[in-house]
Structure 1
Amino acid sequence: MPAYPREELEEMVARWLQANRVAENQGDWIKSLGAMYTEDAEYGWNMGPNREFLARGRREIEEWALGAHMEGFEKWRYPYDKIIIDDKQGEIIGIWRQVAPVLRPDGSEYEVAGLGGSWFRYGGNFQWSWQRDFFDLGNAKAMFMDLAADGRLEPSVKRRLGKLARGQALPGVYALHASPGVLHGAKALFTMARIALLGK
């Protein structure tokens, strides 16, 4: 993993955060974020004890990660609370929150509890070559249940959750030990998260 000038990585982060704000405002994740990945980038996340999501290449990232899997989340906000830059390895950890675009009956926000974030690898030319998201799946499911109970869950999200529950195929979703490509193991992931949060 090559080192990069810290100023370049800081500029990449600034561009990424701005692109996220534009995506949230416009409700279009593909248009704002797609070009920020290299042609051969990989992007994945865990979906529980039996499933992984993995998109290989910019086209799959745009169509699956930023497209199909973001249907129903077009206006959600993902504000970043902490950014850790490792210029020696060209890697970045961003800690974010997940906030729905609607309010609870009492006027408070629907927000996923627990820790959420992304682990990025920089690929030069102001593009990511690799990304791994992590979040508390149990808390995300609990909030979806709250949204559904209050009649605020988007129909497209309902349909996708229903497909998962019935074991139907979703783009880029694989059995945990059958996903193509190389996804870093949980030990490495939690080590990076611990460093990002605790500095040790």
Structure 2
Amino acid sequence: MKKNKFIVVEGMEGAGKTTACQTIKKILLLKMIKNVIIVRQPGSTFISEKIRSLITSEHKKEKLNKYSELLLLYSARFQLLKNVIQPQLKKGNWIISDRHNLSSIAYQGGQGIKNSLIYDLIKITNKFAKPDLTIFFDIKQEIGLNRIILRSKLDRIEKKSSIFFSKVRKNYLKYISLNSKKIIINANLDLKMVNNHLKKKLNNWLKNSQ
């Protein structure tokens, strides 16, 4: 059996990350890898889920400052890394995470926060665990936003402007290109084609990974 891995799924709203996490788990199960845990960021611990609710909800009495948002996100991330991801990896379990550090570079960077500050926080996360693979689902902002409008009520983040999401996608494309441990999936296609591309690329990665 292959050594366990930490796999991160990234992408903008409407890219299909949640569905992709389940698909990845099914692919791993077909490879007889049964010890797989799916987590989401922010979230997946008691405290992290409370922080998630605080970040995604709108607050009429007070606006959430972008630096407060960044630090809240990393508070949730540290809780998850310390209490779930790191110990489960040590036990030999595989981790699939819906979002990780690249989301902060894309989203918080899109709000004008300097990368140097985000990278200082990333250095701390790397002491807990580093992703073995990042799977980026690239989607045009208008397609992604149309999908989430049809899906459910928009949260505070999803209501941000198209200009903001344009910055987010540019950040994603820029920084995923610098990552040597990546798979890029065209999420603009229909679900069947997206899944086929995911299965092909992930199986190839599994074949060649140690």
The answer, yes or no, to whether TM exceeds 0.5 is: no
Structure with bigger RCO (C-alpha 8 Å, 6+ apart): 2
Structure with the largest fraction of helix:
2
Structure with the largest fraction of strand:
1
TM-score, normalised with respect to structure 1: 0.32
